[in-house]
Structure 1
Amino acid sequence: MKTLDPDAFAAAERYLELHARLVDRLRFAHAFRGAPGELVRNAVAAYQNLDGGFGHAIEPDLRGAGGQPQGAEIAFGMLEGIAASDEPLLLRACDWLAEHSTEEGGVPWVLPSVLDDPRGPWWQPQGEKPPAALNPTAPLAGLLHAFGVDHPWLGPATEYCWNAIAEAGEIGAYDALCILNFLERVPDRDRAEAEFQRLRGPLRGSAALDPDAPGHVHSPVDLAPRPDLMARRLFSDEEIDLHLDRIVEDQGEDGGWAPNFTMWTPVVVHEWGGYLTLARLKTLKAYGRIEQ
């Protein structure tokens, strides 16, 4: 079993100090150094517009100032375990989500306004009136349930997610991540477990079990970044250990971890690098792979 020794951990911290965004440096300080969560909350607030939407490259590949559903998902994830149910940032974002939802109750993958912004080439809307999508409605709804938020948007969005999950067959990695995020946090635990059991095969099949798989793939530990998550049950101990070993091995000479997807402009290299490095450190910590 490979572990991150103190020198390697110090190198990762140094990488974050040199290259990561302020919000990710503060998230590291909160997760590993006991810094107050309020500092993270304040940094996330800087990405929120007056209309409640999150933009300004909080999702690094969406460089525009205007809000996008994916921006809200990133922001909610950063605030999990920090924000309370009555957090104004969340409630304003819910108002924004309600304003940009479809008749189905969810939000699209990306809004057509993205066409006016510099962005990664894959961010293309599905027409002038794009349909709702599990990515990112499911994680948005799941995270709001985790916060305990009470807002009119959440009921229809939750129902949309249940209906879309019920129709799911073959599942790609991104939709798998979104479905698992929702099922992990939604209050109806019996229904969540039933859907998890029904979709075990497709969910497992969305992960690349071979740590040498090329391209932009997601590993078992991407789906199960903590051992207490329901997704952990999709994989054997040997499979999880193999990919945890690979995380340790894949630390770069600069101390960080590099993404396995296209870096379409230089600025996103370290923005994603900082975000991913923190995620890798949190996963290694959760599985007891960081030496004290």
Structure 2
Amino acid sequence: MKKLSKTLFNQLNSYMNKKARPLESAIFNYYFNDSSGDDILDSLEEFQNSDGGFGRGIEPDFKLIQSSPMATSIGLKYLSMLDNSNRGQNMIARAVEYLETTFDSNRNGWYSVPSNVNEYPHAPWWEFRNDINMTVIDYSWGNPTAELIGYLYKYKEYLNNLDIYSLISYAIANLNERTEFNSEHEIFCYIR
């Protein structure tokens, strides 16, 4: 197995601490420099909005300030690494509340981003299209819905309204009915 040389690691370490966003720098330090994880929580607090959801550019491909289910899935991905702390649990509880509030019963899940994503810098695939009333990402039901259902199951003690077992059954049925996926990102959402 190839290993990273100490010199190359030191260069990478320097780069991550000087050039990366504080969030990615904190994650790097957590895994490679024995950081406690408090820096990750500090960074995540900057991305969590008062409604409990995440936004503020946590997903670098769209700079939407307001919360979105997609950005919240990213926040929860990082929080799940630190869910053994009270601070992390409080942030998770707030995110779960946001997800319950924004659940779309007609979709039996969430659309990735709201239409006002178009008011902020974003990659073309995040463009909200009025002709289909969603982004092209939303053709893939499981992105981010399947991943969000997984987090809701893991943190079901914070649920007040959603029936997590019904959502799991729906996600499994959706997965079992598929013969192909148009996006690998949807598969990743089922795996996570």
TM-score under structure 2 length normalisation = 0.82
The SS at the match of 2:43 is: helix
Segments of 5+ residues of structure 2 without an aligned counterpart are none
The alignment yields a C-alpha RMSD, in angstroms, of: 2.4
Give the aligned partner of residue 73 of structure 1: 73
Runs of 4+ in 1 over 6 A off after TM superposition: 129-132
Map 1:22-101 to 2 at 5 A.
Answer: 22-84=22-84, 87-101=89-103
Contact 2:79 2:92 in 1 (8 A): no
C-alpha distance in 2 between matches for 1:91 and 1:29: 25
Find the counterpart in structure 2 of residue 9 from structure 1: 9
Greater C-alpha radius of gyration: 1
What is residue 147 of structure 2 aligned with on the other side?
139
2:166 is equivalent to residue 163 of structure 1: no
Contact kept? 1:134, 1:175, Cα under 8 Å: yes
1:228 corresponds in structure 2 to none
Query: Could you say if the C-alpha distance between residues 101 and 168 of structure 1 is closer, same or farther in structure 2, counting changes exceeding 3 Å?
Result: same
Give the TM-score normalised by the residue count of structure 1.
0.56
- Offset at residue 177 of structure 1 (A): 0.8
- Count of residue pairs brought into register by the alignment: 181
Contact 1:106 1:160 in 2 (8 A): no
One-letter amino acid of the structure 2 residue matched with residue 83 of structure 1:
D
Match of 1:173 among 160, 184, 187: 184
Say whether the 8 Å CA contact 2:76–2:95 is kept in structure 1.
Answer: no
Deviation at 1:28, TM superposition (A): 1.5
Change in Cα spacing, 1:11 to 1:31, as seen in structure 2 (3 Å) is: same
Residue 21 of structure 1: how far off its partner (Å): 0.7
Q: Residue 121 of structure 1 corresponds to which residue in structure 2? A: 124
Higher relative contact order (CA 8 A, sep 6+): 1
Report the residue type matching 2:185 in the other structure: Y
Q: CA deviation at 1:85?
A: 8.7
Bigger helix fraction: 2
Distance in 2 between the 1:95 and 1:133 partners? Answer: 21
| Deviation for aligned residue 1:39 | 2.5
